[in-house]
Amino acid sequence: MAAKKGRGLLGERLRGVEEVFAEVRGQLMGKIGIGLIVFFVAVSLYALATVPLSFANKWLDLTYWSKYPVVVPPTWVSHFGTPVAPFLDKVIDGPDSVQVQPVPLQYHGVRLFGVVERFSFDYNLKQPAFPQGVLVYARDVELENITAGGRLVTPGEVSLTVAVFLHRPDNLTILISDASVTTLKDFVSSGGVVRFSDQAVAQQMVEYYRKKGINMSLGYAQNNAARLAFGVYDPKTREIKPLTGTYTIEVVFNYLARGVNPGRLVGEINAGNIGVQSIEGVVKGSAYGLMGTDNYGRDLYRALLFAFPIELLIGFVAAVVAVVIGLVVGVVSGYYGGWVDEVIQRSIDVIGNIPVLPILVLVGAALQERGASGWTMLFVIIFLLVIFGWGGLALIVRSMTLSIKSEPYIDSARAIGASNTRIIFRHIMPQVIPYAMASLVFNVPSAILTEAGLSVLGIRHNLPTWGTVLAQARDYIFSGGRYDIWWWILPPGLLMGLMSIAFVFLGLALETVVEPRLRRR
Amino acid sequence: MLSFGVARVLRGTASSHGAPGFLMASSRVASVLVKRGIFLFVALVLIVVLAAVIIGATGYDKKVLQAIIEGQVRAYKQSLQQKGLPAERINALVENYTKTLEHIYGLDRPWYYRVLPLAFRTLTLDLGNVTQNQVAEVVGEQLPLRVSTAILEVLPRTIIMITIAELVCGIIVLFMGPLIAYRRGSLIDKAAITYAAIMNALPVWWLGLIAVFFFGYYLHIAPTRYRDVIYYINNFWSSPLHNLVEIAKYAWLPMVIVIISFLGSWLYGVRAIALRVVGEDYVAVARAKGLPENLVIRRYVLRVIAGPALTIVILGLAGSLGGFIITESVFGWPGMGSLYYAAIMSGDSATILGLIYVTTLVYIVARFILEVLYVWLDPRVKF
């Protein structure tokens, strides 16, 4: 056999890999496979760059998502005919006006007296769909004490009434929040949030329709509060139709501090020493984002994106480690033989007999009971996948090693004094590497699918992965939710399938490398 | 699982000691088979012990037992309080009771005193009693319930759904596999590969989810509560024909899903094996001799791939008994998979060990039978 010019040990081993790549590149399926994998890696890099690692924690913090609509499809469904109420999230930097209200005034059912600060923003509802609700956050609230009349007035002594009004396109104005009286200090310490109030809206709506001669029960009104607020009830069809047009949402903060001249208070608010300086107004529409939301309002697009690198990590780490172990063990077992071979073979046999899924689920459940963290569980799952994964390749590599071992050129190499290591790395390794790569290709999707399967079963590592998202969809439906949540169910499964297809195509193309008999003449 | 079967099959004629033996010495074959049998049995024991160790060493069974004890102690405390005894006396009695319970349940000793005896009893088929309600629910019975009864009642349901599906699938595959391999590169071949690739890639249970929602909730032509099938199976003999129809109404969707997805992976495996054979010289010779295709397939190809293909089929059947936790859970089908799931989630150690023992036992017996069949079917196998 003509000796190849020395490319070094590394070069020799790479020879096998290079041959593989050349073959694969030349086939259509291989091209598609590689293309898809490149796409996945690119998206993963994009994900790592744009979504911070802390997203994993945000995923679990449900209050973070309270301003988003729940269980809504992506916004682009409007192009396909489904009407969509847009999602609005706007910061209003300064009030429209801060005025003194010298005498008590009844403003749409709310008593205003003292200092009245108004913010407002518009909401354009162009398509006939219902928003889910309205939220107002007081973003920038100043809480300095003010001296007045020789005394220090603290925010705890400033009484505050907060009310949110909805001015509809049909010139009806209703109060859409509770208008309870609290103090400035309490308002801030309880979060500074004003929520849409079903009861307030319901009462007003029942009253409004009663005046028109239409009977409506309070219970019905409460259950359909958001729809009534943004729609019109038709007694003939007993349906609520959305009211399109421009709505104005007015947020009123009514301050009253005893012993403080209201004019003085206005001055302090304007100067930015006390009171609400800016607000964030949110109208939860009926659609959100590129991929919709789940039952907690979590943005599925960001979750699925975040999961890309995690899925690749799971697949690659589990598969690569398993393949490397299988390769090494297979060669050692085949080459050295003897009791080492026996032991290794027996171990593979035992492992092969273990029912994989039950043991995985068992370990997962046991760890969950102990309260292991998300990343720990992920690590354990990968570890187990590796343990169950290296055996198949080891057997194949071993048998190949055995047949190569008996080739004449091995004997010649030994006769001229080649050491065992040299023989292994120079002659055996390059020939078994194509098998290793083929095995890699099939192990990756299986690892990903198994992890997803475990999530569906409830072994939660609480990190957002495609499997976790699917699992939560299933839980939601099985506990009585909607079942037509296509945007929630289809994308994760399709993504998993796509990634697996990428590797399977790669594997099919590799097949011709591994089985020379199959090469087209 | 498939990889192990295929790996063994593709090993071909590489012998395990580098020295070619000759099959004719049947006593040698017998001794090897016996050794194999013993080894497989040892593997079984090890696996059951491993499962027991997992349950014990991770503290899982301890948690479950503690929860049980807490419940009993609370009930006891309440009954004492109702009697109106002084607080100190109650606390002393409760403490005593707790200690007694801990001793009974074995919590005052390290975990191996609890789980290992359980493991060994399981190995002798004394499977013990079901301790959790969740498990009994899947079976459709109430506690007290013996683990063996539970398993035996649940077994037929899984067998119905999955085994028939796999049989149908196997028949289809055994027919189509060699045909496709024969016409490599044709449209059928490419279609089959693409189908197999897609089916391998998509999770079975995801298809199941979508199928249940589409056919069940949306179209209403499939049921959405599969637990009800228990009634028809249990009372099968009271009016077999009617119950068979009812059972079919429940079983058709899961079965179809299983068949569709398995067609993918098996088709690919058998095709790979058939391709090896079709490339062999003697097939080329047969074709060159002018034999009709059907004859070539039947006489030369099928007989050779029978061994490996049979391996895949039988291993698949045996493995399916335990491995369908996810698919069954998606449908809510009350079979072995759901039993496993309920047992693991509720920490019913006896049931867990019993199930693992039974399913591994079946798998090992299947493998052993295969080894025997292999010797018989393929004269090239040397020991």
What average pLDDT score do residues A366-394 get? 80
Structure tokens at B226: 């599969």
Question: 3-state class of A100 per DSSP?
Answer: strand
C-alpha B204: how far from chain center: 15
pLDDT score of B77: 83
Please check whether residue B169 is in contact with residue B266, taking contact to mean a CB–CB distance below 8 angstroms: yes
Whether A351 shows a pLDDT value over 50: the answer reads: yes
A481 at interface of B, judged by CB pairs closer than 8 A: no
Cβ-count burial of A258 within 10 angstroms (0-12 exposed, 13-18 middle, 19+ buried)? exposed
B329 at interface of A, judged by CB pairs closer than 8 A: yes
pLDDT score of A122: 93
Question: 3-state class of B382 per DSSP?
Answer: coil
List b or e across A113-133, with b for residues whose CB sees 16 or more CB atoms inside 10 angstroms. bbbbbebbbebebeeebbbbb
pLDDT band at A1 (very low <50, low <70, confident <90, very high): very low
Q: What is the pLDDT along chain B (383 residues), one digit of tens a residue?
A: 344 444 444 444 333 333 334 444 566 777 777 888 888 888 888 888 888 888 877 777 777 788 878 888 888 888 888 887 788 888 888 888 888 888 877 777 777 777 788 888 877 777 777 777 777 777 777 777 888 888 888 888 777 777 777 778 777 777 776 666 666 666 677 777 777 777 777 777 788 888 877 777 777 777 767 767 777 777 777 777 777 777 777 778 888 887 877 777 677 667 767 666 666 777 777 778 877 777 776 676 666 666 666 677 666 666 666 557 777 777 777 888 888 888 877 778 888 888 888 888 888 887 787 777 776 665 665 54
pLDDT band at A249 (very low <50, low <70, confident <90, very high): very high
What average pLDDT score do residues A54-81 get? 87
- Which residues 6+ apart lie within 8 Å of A433 measured at CB? A13, A16, A17, A20, A327
Whether A517 shows a pLDDT value over 60: the answer reads: no
CB contact under 8 A, A350 and B47: yes
CB contact under 8 A, A508 and B193: yes
pLDDT in tens, A280-328: 999 998 999 899 999 898 999 999 999 888 888 888 888 888 888 988 8
- Report chain A residues whose CB lies below 8 A from the CB of B356: 355, 358-359
User: Percent of chain A, pLDDT > 70?
Assistant: 92
CA distance A91 to chain B (A): 41
What average pLDDT score do residues A244-259 get? 90
pLDDT score of B170: 74
pTM: 0.74
CA distance A440 to chain B (A): 12
Whether A115 shows a pLDDT value over 70: the answer reads: yes
pLDDT band at A512 (very low <50, low <70, confident <90, very high): low
pLDDT score of A125: 92
Domain with CATH 1.10.3720 in chain B: 148-347
CB interface of A with B, residues 390-409, below 8 Å: 391-393, 395-396, 398-399, 402-403, 405-406
Q: A158-172, A410-424, B158-172 — which one is most confidently predicted on average?
A: A158-172
Question: 3-state class of B350 per DSSP?
Answer: helix
pLDDT score of A157: 84
pLDDT score of B10: 44
What average pLDDT score do residues A319-340 get? 87
Q: Which of B1, B16, B352 sits opposite A362 (nearest CB)?
A: B352
pLDDT band at A262 (very low <50, low <70, confident <90, very high): confident
Q: Please state, rounded to an integer, the average pLDDT across all residues of chain A.
A: 83
Closest CA to B129 of B143, B119, B141, B116: B143
pLDDT score of B18: 35
Measured distance CA(B137)–CA(B143) in Å, rounded: 9
Closest CA to A428 of A450, A451, A406, A443: A406
Whether A252 shows a pLDDT value over 80: the answer reads: yes
pLDDT score of A497: 85
Candidates B11, B344, B346, B361: best to mutate against A (most CBs of A within 10 A) is: B344
Measured distance CA(B332)–CA(B224) in Å, rounded: 9
pLDDT score of B379: 61
Whether A73 shows a pLDDT value over 50: the answer reads: yes
CB contact under 8 A, A362 and B17: no
B197 at interface of A, judged by CB pairs closer than 8 A: yes
Q: Which CATH class is domain B148-347?
A: mainly alpha
Task: Output DSSP code: residue A260.
Answer: S
- Report chain B residues whose CB lies below 8 A from the CB of A511: 272
pLDDT score of B377: 63
Q: A72-76, A142-146, B38-42, B141-145 — which one is most confidently predicted on average?
A: A72-76
pLDDT score of A136: 92
Q: Which of A46-60, A214-228, B324-338 has the lowest mean pLDDT?
A: B324-338
A436 at interface of B, judged by CB pairs closer than 8 A: no
CB contact under 8 A, B200 and A458: no
Show the DSSP H helices in B124-218 as ranges. 133-139, 147-158, 164-182, 187-201, 204-211
pLDDT band at A230 (very low <50, low <70, confident <90, very high): very high
Phi, psi dihedral angles at A101 (to 5 degrees): -110, 95
pLDDT score of A284: 92
If you measure CA to CA, which chain A residue comes closest to B280?
A: A517
List b or e across A27-66, with b for residues whose CB sees 16 or more CB atoms inside 10 angstroms. bebbebbbebbeebeebbeebeeebeeebbebbeeeeebe
Closest CA to B222 of A483, A208, A175, A413: A483
